Amino acid sequence: MRVDHPLNRRGVVAAKTERGRLQHTSPWGRRAICLAAAASSATPALVAQPDIPPATPPDYTVAFLGDQGWGLETRLVLRLVAARAQLLVVLGDFDYLDDPARWEAILSTELGPEFPVIAVVGNHDVLAWTEYQALLEAHTLRSGVRCRGDIGVNAVCIHGGVQFVTSGVGTLGFDHVRHLRESLAGRDAIWRVCAWHKPRRLMQVGGKLNEVPWEAYDTCRRGGAIIASGHEHSYSRTYLMRSFVGLEFEATPVLRVGSGANFAFVSGLGGRSVRHQVDALAANPWWAAVYTADQGARPGALFCRFNAAGEQRRAICHFRDIAGNEPDRFEVISENYPRSG
Ligand SMILES: [Fe+2]
């Protein structure tokens, strides 16, 4: 069984890297394994940004989930994703077995071998991270996701014109806040997402602790990026946040992201389990939606449809579970403007 790892235990992964080349029989391909292993063993580099993102296609839909596991409910959630989304963002904690081949097989079976996937490292992925990262590196090459950097730890990925700044903050790696800040500085993407695994205690409604600095949240807020995380096995979504460290929020029906405001959500119902809320945390006034075992939650994902009905600055998001419940639905408007000249 695995336990949560303390912050930045990069040495765990480095030790695995030293074992040498992996003997992997991956249907996602193994050409990139050496490249990824080399990247993992070095100090994460803050590399150049991907190219200027293309325009987002109409109704381009992204599914966000974390904490998957390997059972039937894991597969049922993925079937929802296959039917509704063009990209899956896995918010850490993959199969809980340190078994990259099994995780990959589940994804490949339910989504197809070339379904676009972006993922961030979770605490249950650290021991086999070199192998997981190699799979992701190879898969991004094949599925049309463009990524630069230390995949799943300090990287920037572009798909469907949306910029995803992925981070191991609180879980693995170094220099996360700088990576977030530099990745979001002067970006051209209308739609931006920060993705990491562990939410702060007040940014979830269960039993999780403070392993991520507020600075990470406020850096993404200032950069106009939606904040996606997992780790707690429930769903919760804030109102519009004006400051995270100051817990300043605005209970508006439409979330206007950019101009110093954004929102954060936890989507940790990928199939592993469904947990109860801590009532005092769930009652915090910045929550616009809470969906836990207390509300009868089932596994599911948050789906965000960007460029909704051809309005490039509009997105419609909803959480949907495997029983067909939709406990949250909301509209987002982007106020991020590309650089001119
Ligand atoms: Fe976790």
DSSP string, 106-160: HHHHHH-TT--EEE---GGGSTTHHHHHHHHHHHHHHHT-EEEEETTTEEEEEET
Distance from the alpha carbon of residue 125 to the mean position of ligand 1, in angstroms: 9
The pLDDT of residue 337: 84
Q: How much distance in Å is there from the Cα of 169 to the middle of ligand 1?
A: 12
Angle between helices 10-17 and 129-143 (to 10 degrees): 80
Compute the distance from residue 53 Cα to the ligand 1 centre, in Å: 30
Q: Which domains occur in the chain, in start order?
A: 10-334 (3.60.21.10)
Residues 6+ apart with CB under 8 A from 298: 73, 269, 274, 321, 322, 323, 325
Q: Walk across the sheet containing 60-65 and list its strands.
A: 117-119, 87-90, 60-65, 300-306, 314-321, 328-334, 254-257
Q: State how far Cα 236 lies from the chain centre.
A: 14
**Residues 223 and 181 sit within 8 Å (Cβ to Cβ):** yes
The whole-number pLDDT of residue 141 equals 87
Please report how the helices 10-17 and 33-41 are oriented relative to each other, as an axis angle in degrees rounded to 10. Answer: 140
> 45 CA to middle of ligand 1, Å?
24
Q: What is this structure's pTM? A: 0.86
- Cα(281) to ligand 1 centroid in Å equals 18
Query: What is the 11 CA–ligand 1 centroid distance (Å)?
Result: 19
Ligand 1 center from residue 92 Cα (angstroms) = 7
Residue 322, classed as helix, strand or coil, is coil
Calculate how far, in angstroms, residue 292's C-alpha sits from the geometric centre of ligand 1.
16
- pLDDT number for residue 213: 98
CA of 226 to the centre of ligand 1 (A): 20
Which pLDDT score is estimated for 15?
30
pLDDT tens for the chain, 341 residues long, are 333 333 233 323 333 332 223 333 333 433 232 233 333 333 344 444 555 667 899 999 999 999 999 999 999 999 999 999 999 999 999 999 999 999 999 999 999 999 999 999 999 999 999 999 999 999 998 999 999 999 999 999 999 999 999 999 999 999 999 999 999 996 679 999 999 999 999 999 999 999 999 999 999 999 999 999 999 999 999 999 999 999 999 999 999 999 899 999 999 999 999 999 999 999 999 999 999 999 999 999 999 999 999 999 999 999 999 999 999 999 999 999 876 53
Distance 57 CA to ligand 1 centre (A): 32
- Which of 112, 114, 94 has the alpha carbon at shortest distance from 103? 94
Give me the pLDDT at residue 339, please.
Answer: 61
Residues 87/143, Cβ–Cβ less than 8 Å? no
Query: Measured in angstroms, how far is the CA atom of residue 93 from the centroid of ligand 1?
Result: 5
pLDDT at 186: 67
Closest CA relative to residue 172, chosen from 212, 205, 134 = 212
pLDDT at 103: 97
CA of 123 to the centre of ligand 1 (A): 5
